[in-house]
Chain A
Amino acid sequence: MLTKRSDTKTRRARLAHIDAHGHTPLDRRSFLRNAGMTATGLAAVGTLGAATVQKAHALPPVDLGKPTTVKKNICTHCSVGCTVTAEVQNGVWVGQEPSWDSPINRGTHCAKGAAIREIVFGDRRLKYPMKLVDGEYNKISWAQALDEISAKMLEIREKSGPESVWWLGSAKFTNEAAYLYRKMAAFWGTNSVDHQARICHSTTVAGVANTWGYGAQTNSYNDIRNSKTMIIMGGNPAEAHPVSLQHVLTGKEINRANLIVIDPRMTRTAAHATEYVRIRAGTDIPVIYGLLYHIFENGWEDKTFIEQRVHGMNDVRAEAKKWDPKTVEDVTGVPGEQLKRVAEMFAKQKPSTLIWCMGATQHTVGTANVRAYCTLLLATGNVGAPGTGANIFRGHTNVQGATDLGLDVITLPLYYGLDDNAWRHWSRVWEVDFEWLDGRFDKKPGPNNTTINYRSLPGIPSTRWFDAVTIAKDQIDQRDTLKAAIVFGHGGNTVPRMPEMMKGLAALDLLVVADPHPTNFVSLAGRKNGTYLLPIATSLECDGSRTASNRSLQWGEKIVEPIFESATDYWAIYELAKRLGFADKMFKNIAMVKGKFGDEPEAESILREINKGGFSTGYCGQSPERLKAHMKNQKHFDIVTLKANADAPAEIAGDHYGLPWPCWGTPAQRHPGTPLLYNTNLHVKDGGGTFRARFGVERMMKVKAQENGQEIEKEVKENLLAEGSYSLGSEIKDGYPEFTMAVLKKLGWDTDLTADERTTIDKIGGNNIDGVSWATDFSGGIQRVAIAHGCSPFGNAKARANAWNLPDPVPVHREPIYSPRIDLVAKYPTRPDFKSFRMTNAGFSVQKAAVDKGIGKSFPIILTSGRLVEYEGGGEETRSNRWLAELQQDMFVEIHPADAAARGIVEGGWVWVDGPENNAKIKVKALVTERVGKGVAWMPFHFGGWYQGEDQRKNYPAGTDPIVLGESVNIITTYGFDPVTAMHEGKVTLCQIRAA
């Protein structure tokens, strides 16, 4: 035996990163080597079948002798915003390294992030454009595909109008692509453009924005480290946002904080909780009122906070009074003592934060749930300070950005809405004629000689698109039903009622699926012609910015050129716009760069256009240069505050990581971004703020009063502006409305505007300069002046515990459409049928029919759904990743041991799960576990490719089928839509389970 000693130079020391412990670099020395051992020694025996695990040629190792380029992008699989560090050699992604410098993930990843390299050489990707001809997929060229698609679209436009083409965008778009896609829909002439936010946090956006101004996470993942009490309700971040748990668990350990998980299922997150509260699915509002009951009863509420910064808390108090512990226990199943304990912790051991996810949002009462959560935060004064807030964990990489940039049927980019002011603002930004834009839209005569202009009407949401295809023409409020669906980066198994979706899918004239993978739209049989598959690059093959859930923007570099014949979204959108005839207008101010297939829009240039128009949400300060500087200097940001350290270089000095929006004014004004929303402890110029004055300055309210011994109703004006609360350094020591030229003039601050700013404002205002506001002034002057005086450009108002414009201004409990508690359905029915998003929401009728049919008897098990750590969304991408697919190979249902025993179901055995609608059933494996309570079943939602017991693998074009297929839970999930956003009911329905 020889001892070989090789002293390889230590390149980097890694231990230092494990925690805050310094350590000297490793000194790796030597390995023993067997004497006389030769490689050929066993060649002869090898032929006898001594199999060995070897490296395939497809994956070359990092060649240490060759130069390596390091590129940074952002993981596409959730919204935490983990930096992915790639080592590239010869245009091939050869290695992945931990991203130590990122203040968000600090080197770490979850299973998906650690396996992300696979997706850019994954051989299950769609390799070239394909067209479905008589049931067979044929390879075609990009040019042919785009020519045929655009011709068909124009034909449909001619026959049925622009509203018959439905656009579905993606939360995996970069901000720039999302913006282009929204812009394309606008130029085409429809508001029917949606994306994944509809089915994940649309109710959050609506509920939160209606409470205090913006529909986003108020604080950040990092800030959770400051919390002393955390409630995670309706979320399982240990699987959905694993890296966030790094911050949650560190916070829990450092502060010895309370971590309370409220969920129908004992999740992996609950395994690390200090208290787990099991509730009946769909009873979030009673649980919150159960908490508020104890809080109000014991006077634990934050009275000063409520007085200064909250409107309408008394209405909540009245509602909470109805929810005494006994009633709550009856409805939710939670013992009163436990809720009291949790309520006391949340109210007294502050700062407290409430974290939620799709367990809160995917309900017929989604918006109301979210509003109830916000109310709890407001009542305990837990908003607008470190360690507090609504920490809303969003889904995909850029679901926050795509939402912000208007892939939403109710608004133009950055929440400007759809009214004339909004369109005029954007036509100014785009430098296109307002009348021309207006002319792109369908119009129809309305009542009393008015004209209904579809330019201002919300479009068709992704939860109901198939209804809009199959519905009778006179049942839908537009000229014709949907004829074409253009789907960029969205799965086909994400919405309940798949049997009905199949009908819609079959009835479409044109289906375009532009995606790195064919998605479940393809696996579902029924179409023979008129389907096009376009291979789109993944986010990792794309330059551009992404907005993480904490509102930080991060610039991702294209790691490698799109593989196979894949193209970037930018190029595909540009080429499609060219063929639809408006590319010259749409790309007027956007620079082109040389891409893989020729000219393609430059990401930086698109971001500059967003900056130019993005004042309403503070997307105006994040220039590409600033974002790139942040990525370059990641290591200089603090992991708790996200603020640049004292030793940071000048280009990022004072900034918060990723310039979390709102980042006010022009990039030159160098606003540092707002890490915590509504934080009055900071000056606005340093990222502080107030609640947004969005709903006027006062409200007329009818109150009952005693006058001359008689009870009369009289109108009083209630002040909606903050009282005695203002952000640090504010010159106005009270509430104030949003800033317009009129307000500036009144304060005498208009003289602070520079001449250039004034010129721009004059140009925008025309003959009504006073109407130019902080959101429409793209000189940035109004914002600059307001901030200079310490004021939030959007005003300083109260948050609303009573949101009078919503269907349930103060949240009230409503039983799910399919509830096992018929007695409670009678007491807490869902809202009556009504029209929303151009079609009828018939929830009430469905609920009534279910009760009448006694559905609770034949379908006794509550079914809820959720996420697995290995997969994401519809799952085609991750189920095609061999490193991930190996870990979850079967669709399964979690069933309680008692329910399993009663049905003769064994662990790992096949079962049929029957749904209450359409005689739908799915065949899955049983996972017998106490994670779920008795009478409850849980299924993951990422599977697809089987349909009611049948394997649909043959429907995929050869070689593009994902490694793992399985039944989709949405085959058996059921009817139900939130009244505000048409969010589907994804979390509560009923089912029956039987051994197969």
Chain B
Amino acid sequence: MIATPLFRHLFPALLAMLLCVAPVAAQQPSAVNPTASSVTEKQLLDALKPNSTDTIAGRVSIPDVRAGNLIQPTGVEFRAYQTTTIFQVGAIAIPGMLALLALFYLIRGRVRIQGGPSAQTIVRFAWFSRFVHWMTATSFIALGLSGLNLVFGKTLLLPVIGASAFSAMSQLGKFVHDYVSFAFALGIFLMFVMWVKDNLPALRDIRWIVQFGGMLGFGHPTADRFNAGQKLMFWATILGGGTLAVSGYIMMFRPVSFAISAMQLATVVHGLTGVVLVAIILAHIYIGTVGMEGAFRAMGRGTVDLNWAKEHHSVWVEKVARKRPKDISGGPAPAPAE
């Protein structure tokens, strides 16, 4: 489904972003009657076939060089993407993830702190880290909702609330999507800078993955500040968010030198990355809230229960105890997760 020709030509397309790709001239001796041998549409389309991201382009006198594109065959593929691919990918990824999470909840239930809450807490995230997380998170929710609206709104919402209201809402959503994106992009950048050091892969990550973090009861693998699951989430967010930002800004700023095929590609990449990331983030939200006892306060208050920390991040706790013992403090009895 995803393997539309757009993807087959991902790299050539990026290279071929220059406009005015000269049409392949028909081979004609100059003395021949030019009327009889006039260039035809079919001829030009056939010539384009080896590289379907090209357009039949010619010369126009107006400064809008894109107007020189007479026929762009990739419009058909974009249409297929927009009406089918993204819809199906989204319809599989997001409800699928929700179903998976529900299934997981049914099987595993809430992951409890096995040792029970202790009286001690350990500082997990400083204020600025939490600020960045929430900035990224809230903007992602706004972007996700307004983005999903463009994919599913027409099918799900429009019949319910009517064209006028839906259009007004979508228009607003589009403005929100455009402007909020800057906060999101900034957040992604800061998160990368803050946490990349702790998210570099380590050998023990393999064990963590093999044991699936102990969540299905194969015992608790050790982890540093971030376990392999969190690292995967980090990289998904950074790469996914980064991709979204780059493709989004291409869509937004529309560099003149970009061919339509490049713009289409940006749109496709943006959309698909978007729905997939939404699905991934759903898992993140699940595990940070309903799915695991004691996890939410890491971002809520910045501190976590020491027992929770020991269970999930034993290596890290040891390091903190060694380097910054002050971060571990006897606090009040832990409150249940919000």
Interface: A44 (CB within 8 A):
yes
Stretch of A640-648, A806-814, A817-825, A885-893 on the interface side: A885-893
Structural contact, A887 and B162, CB atoms closer than 8 A: no
- Provide the residues of chain A in CB contact with B175, threshold 8 Å: 45, 48
Out of B31, B33, B61, B163, name the residue touching A37 (CB < 8 Å): B163
Per the bound structure, the CA–CA distance linking A272 and B171 in Å amounts to 48
A36 touching B168, Cβ below 8 Å: no
Looking at A273-281, A315-323, A985-993, the stretch in contact with chain B turns out to be A273-281
- Whether B167 sits at the interface, judged by CB under 8 Å, is yes
B171 to chain A: closest residue by CB: A45
Instruction: Tell me the A1-58 residues at the B interface (CB within 8 Å).
Output: 34-38, 41-42, 44-45, 48, 50
Contact check, B33 vs A36: say whether CB atoms are below 8 A apart: no
Complex contacts, B171 vs chain A, CB 8 Å: 42, 45, 48, 50
B15 at interface (Cβ–Cβ under 8 A)? no
**Which of chain A's residues 34-91 have a Cβ closer than 8 Å to chain B?**
34-38, 41-42, 44-45, 48, 50
Question: Which residues of chain A in 864-910 are interfacial with respect to chain B, using CB atoms and an 8 Å cutoff?
Answer: 870, 886-889
Which residues in window 144-195 of B have CB below 8 A to A? 162-165, 167-168, 171-172, 175
Contact of B35 among A37, A272, A886 (CB under 8 A): A272
Q: Is the CB of A338 within 8 A of B33?
A: no
* Contact, CB under 8 Å: B31 / A338: yes
User: Is B217 positioned at the interface, with any CB of A under 8 Å from its CB?
Assistant: no
Tell me the minimal C-beta distance from B2 to chain A in angstroms: 33
**CB–CB B164/A889 < 8 A:** no
Contact call B33/A275, Cβ cutoff below 8 A:
yes
Contact A271:B167 (CB < 8 A) given known A36-B162, A48-B175, A887-B62? no
Complex-state Cα separation, A42 to B172, whole angstroms: 10
By DSSP majority rule, is chain A's interface helix, strand, loop, or mixed?
A: loop
Min CB distance B272 to A, Å, is 28
Instruction: Enumerate chain B residues within 8 angstroms of A41, measured Cβ to Cβ.
Output: 164-165, 167-168
Question: What class of interface size applies to chain B in its complex with A?
Answer: 10 to 19
Chain A residues near B164 (CB, 8 Å)?
34, 36-38, 41-42
Measured between beta carbons, the chain A residues less than 8 angstroms from B34 are 270-274, 276
Q: Give Cα distance in the complex from A887 to B67, angstroms.
A: 12
Q: Closest approach, in angstroms, between the C-beta of B74 and any C-beta of chain A?
A: 25
Count of A-B residue pairs with CB < 8 Å: 46
Chain A contacts of B29 at CB under 8 A?
none
A42-B167 in contact (CB<8A): yes
Q: Is B63 interfacial (CB-CB < 8 Å)?
A: yes
- Chain B positions within 8 Å of A36 at CB level: 162-164
Query: Would you give the 0/1 interface string for B97-132, flagging 1 where the beta carbon is closer than 8 Å to chain A?
Result: 000000000000000000000000000000000000
- Whole-angstrom distance between the Cβ of A750 and the nearest chain B Cβ: 58
Chain A contacts with B in 750-780, Cβ cutoff 8 A: none
Interchain CA distance A396-B167 in the complex, whole Å: 52
Closest to A46 in B: B171
A889's nearest neighbour on chain B, judged by CB, is B63
Cα–Cα, bound, A36→B158 (Å): 12
Write the nearest CB–CB distance from B159 to chain A, whole angstroms: 10
Q: In the complex, which residues of chain B have a beta carbon less than 8 angstroms from the beta carbon of A45? A: 168, 171-172, 175
Residues of A within 8 A of B30 (CB): 276
Across the interface, name the chain B residue whose C-beta is closest to A273. Answer: B34
- Which residues of chain B from 52 to 79 have any CB-CB distance to chain A below 8 Å in the complex? 61-63
Residues from chain A with Cβ under 8 Å of B162 in the complex? 35-36
A466 to chain B, nearest CB (A): 33
Whole-angstrom distance between the alpha carbons of A37 and B163 in the complex? 7
Say whether B167 contacts A274, CB under 8 Å.
no
Of chain B, the residue at the smallest CB distance from A34 is: B163
Chain A, residue nearest B65 (CB):
A908
In the complex, the answer to whether B61 meets A888 with C-beta atoms within 8 Å is yes
* A274 lies within 8 A of B168 (CB): no
Check A273/B163 contact, CB under 8 A, given A45-B168, A887-B62.
no
Chain B residues whose C-beta falls within 8 Å of the C-beta of A270 in the assembled complex: 34
A274 partner, pick from B35, B62, B163, B172, beta carbons under 8 A: B35
Bound CA–CA A184/B16 (angstroms): 66
Complex Cα distance, B63 from A672, in Å, reads 50
Minimum CB distance partner of B179 in chain A = A48
CB distance from A70 to the nearest CB of B (A): 32
Across the two chains, which residue of chain A brings its CB closest to B169? A45
Given A887-B61, A889-B63, does the pair A35, B35 have CB atoms closer than 8 Å?
A: no
B165 to chain A: which residues have CB within 8 Å?
41
* Distance to closest chain A CB from B177 (angstroms): 13
CA distance A963 to B167 in the complex (A): 38
Q: Which residue of A lies closest to B170 (CB)?
A: A45
How far is the CB of A638 from the nearest CB of chain B, in Å?
A: 28
- Tell me, rounded to whole Å, the shortest Cβ–Cβ distance linking B222 to chain A: 52
| Min C-beta distance of A931 to chain B, whole Å | 10
Query: Contact string, A247-289, partner B, CB cutoff 8 A, digits 1/0?
Result: 0000000000000000000000011111110000000000000
Inter-chain contact B62/A273, CB cutoff 8 Å: no
Per-position 1/0 for B217-259, Cβ under 8 A of A: 0000000000000000000000000000000000000000000
Residue of A whose beta carbon sits closest to that of B165 = A41
Closest chain A CB from B90 CB (angstroms): 25
Give the docked Cα–Cα distance between A48 and B178 (Å).
12
As a 0/1 sequence over residues 678 to 711 of chain A, the CB contacts with chain B under 8 angstroms (1 = contact) are 0000000000000000000000000000000000
CA distance A624 to B62 in the complex (A): 43
Nearest CB on A from B185, distance (A): 21
The one of B62, B163, B167, B172 that contacts A886, using a Cβ cutoff of 8 Å: B62
* Alpha-carbon separation in the docked complex, A889 to B60 (Å): 12
Output the residue of B33, B61, B162, B168 with the most chain A CB within 10 A: B61
Contacts of B35 in A (CB 8 A): 272-274
Q: How far is the CB of A641 from chain B (nearest CB, A)?
A: 27
Distance, CA A633 to CA B156, complexed state (A): 62
- In the complex, A38 Cα to B62 Cα: how many Å? 36
Instruction: Provide the bound-state CA to CA distance between A870 and B171, in Å.
Output: 39
Docked CA distance A886–B63 (Å)? 9
Q: How far is the CA of A274 from the CA of B38 in the complex (A)?
A: 11
Closest to A272 in B: B35
Given contact pairs A888-B61, A889-B63, A35 touches B163 in the complex (Cβ within 8 A): yes
Instruction: Write out the residue numbers on chain A whose beta carbons fall within 8 Å of the beta carbon of B163.
Output: 34-37
Please name 19 pairs of A and B residues whose Cβ atoms are closer than 8 Å in the assembled complex, sorted by A: A34-B164, A36-B162, A36-B164, A41-B165, A41-B167, A42-B164, A45-B171, A45-B175, A48-B175, A50-B171, A270-B34, A272-B35, A273-B34, A274-B33, A274-B35, A338-B31, A886-B62, A887-B61, A889-B62
Residues of A within 8 A of B (CB): 34-38, 41-42, 44-45, 48, 50, 270-276, 338, 870, 886-889
Q: A37-B164, A41-B164, A888-B61 are in contact. List 5 more A-B contacts (CB 8 A).
A: A34-B164, A45-B171, A272-B35, A274-B33, A870-B61
Q: List 4 tightest A-B contacts by C-beta distance, closest first.
A: A41-B164, A45-B171, A34-B163, A36-B162
